[in-house]
Amino acid sequence: MTFIIAEIAQAHDGSLGIAHSYIDAVAKTGADAIKFQTHIAQAESSIHEPFRVKFSKQDKTRFDYWNRMEFSLEQWQEIKSHCDEVGLEFMSSPFSNEAVDLLEKVGVKRYKVGSGEVNNFLLLEKIAQTRKPVIISSGMSSYEELDATVKFLENRNVEFSILQCTTSYPTNAKQYGLNVIKEFIERYKVPIGFSDHSASTEACIAATALGAELLEFHVVFHKEIFGPDAKSSLTIEETTSLVKAVRTINEAMNNPIDKSKNDQFSKLKHIFEKSLAINKDCAEGYVLTFSDLEAKKPKGFGIDAKDYEAVIGKALKHPLKKWDFLNLKDLK
């Protein structure tokens, strides 16, 4: 079953109340996990960090924004407890070693490493020391860089999975990189998933059909809300629709069809398949041509339509009327 992660990131805009509202809303969609981001401004950033998108009129610097996004340990514990109550796995991506220490106190089952941290071996070492599974997002990494990260994790016996991701907000169809899912499956032999920023459901549905075992996408109440990821997100309603579609695809893929067997269609084949018939009045001794033949339902009242070549050039033993079925007993 595909593991579905609905990412809130900073959609809560630093409000604990809004964060709790998202937990209740996501729980109703059927997603497996809800993911936040744990930012500790002093540990991960500086006043020199530029804005990726200058979306904020209330934060003078990116550092100020991260600072406003922080929750205390007690607040994170409240968030985690709420997730537990509604049956969602609480997840959060750390962006500093200090954030890992905080999340260990909160209690996380696994870690998600964002695209910008895949080459941050200091952070990966910190996470590896927790002995917990890791999901890494490949958004900005080349194969050479990913190979190095995979080797780093393997050397530390870390259980990990990889998400195909394109770091573009929002991502257009030409940037999905759906082909990479199969490449990752063959190259790394670990669970492979898809992290989406397209703001539509198609990419995740396609990824599921291509074998993605994990899906991650941003979720917002409305795509016009304040924040850096809103226009790259799904709404709650879209998330519900996506989860339903993914579960349907999972069911289909878990029930493969054996096309070498079609016994279950025997009754339907009798109804829908056809028997040969004559499309004009024909006298005794008439030699049949292709243009004399028609195929009519049901099967079994005449020679099978698939065997039409066997009757061409054959003479009739007796007259047949237009639309009579044609059988072997009618042929000389």
3-state SS, residue 296:
strand
> pLDDT-based confidence at 56, cuts 50/70/90?
low
Residue 99 scores a pLDDT above 80: yes
Q: Enter the tokens of residue 13.
A: 């805009």
In CATH, 3-253 is 3.30.2090.10: no
**Residue 283 burial by CB count (10 A; 0-12/13-18/19+): exposed, middle or buried?**
exposed
- The answer to whether 209 and 182 have CB atoms below 8 angstroms apart is no
Strands 192-196 and 111-113: unpaired
CATH fold of 263-330 reads Type Iii Antifreeze Protein Isoform Hplc 12 (3.90.1210)
What is the residue-wise DSSP string for 125-172?
HHHHTTT--EEEE-TT--HHHHHHHHHHHHHTT--EEEEEE---SSPP
Question: Among residues 85, 102, 100, 197, which one has the least CA distance to residue 140?
Answer: 197
pLDDT of residue 53: 67
d(CA 235, CA 231): 10
pLDDT tens-place string over residues 132-177: 999 999 988 999 999 999 999 999 999 999 999 988 878 888 989 9
109 vs 62, residue with greater confidence: 109
Q: Enter the tokens of residue 155.
A: 């050397």
Residue 51 scores a pLDDT above 80: no
- The answer to whether 161 and 213 have CB atoms below 8 angstroms apart is yes
- In the chain, residues under CATH classification 3.90.1210.10 are 263-330
> pLDDT-based confidence at 178, cuts 50/70/90?
very high
Kindly state the greatest CA–CA separation across the chain: 100
Percent of the chain exceeding pLDDT 70 equals 98
d(CA 244, CA 4): 11
> pLDDT-based confidence at 62, cuts 50/70/90?
confident
Question: Among residues 202, 211, 159, 151, which one has the least CA distance to residue 183?
Answer: 211
What is the residue-wise DSSP string for 60-128?
SSHHHHHHHH---HHHHHHHHHHHHHHT-EEEEEESSHHHHHHHHHH--S-EEE-GGGTT-HHHHHHHH
Question: Among residues 145, 189, 186, 183, which one has the least CA distance to residue 164?
Answer: 183
168 vs 202, residue with greater confidence: 202
- The answer to whether 208 and 170 have CB atoms below 8 angstroms apart is no
- In the chain, residues under CATH classification 3.20.20.70 are 3-253
All residues at 6 or more sequence positions from 170 whose CB lies less than 8 Å from its CB, including other chains: 197, 198, 199, 231, 232
Model pTM score? 0.86
> pLDDT-based confidence at 46, cuts 50/70/90?
confident
Q: Phi/psi class of residue 300: alpha, beta or left (left: φ > 0; alpha: ψ in -120 to 50)?
A: left
Crossing angle (nearest 10°) for helices 73-86 and 97-106: 50
Residue 208 scores a pLDDT above 70: yes
Kindly report the average pLDDT of the chain as a whole number.
94
d(CA 86, CA 113): 25
- The answer to whether 97 and 123 have CB atoms below 8 angstroms apart is yes
Residue 55 scores a pLDDT above 70: no
- The answer to whether 277 and 293 have CB atoms below 8 angstroms apart is yes
Q: Enter the tokens of residue 280.
A: 């004009």
**Residue 156 burial by CB count (10 A; 0-12/13-18/19+): exposed, middle or buried?**
middle
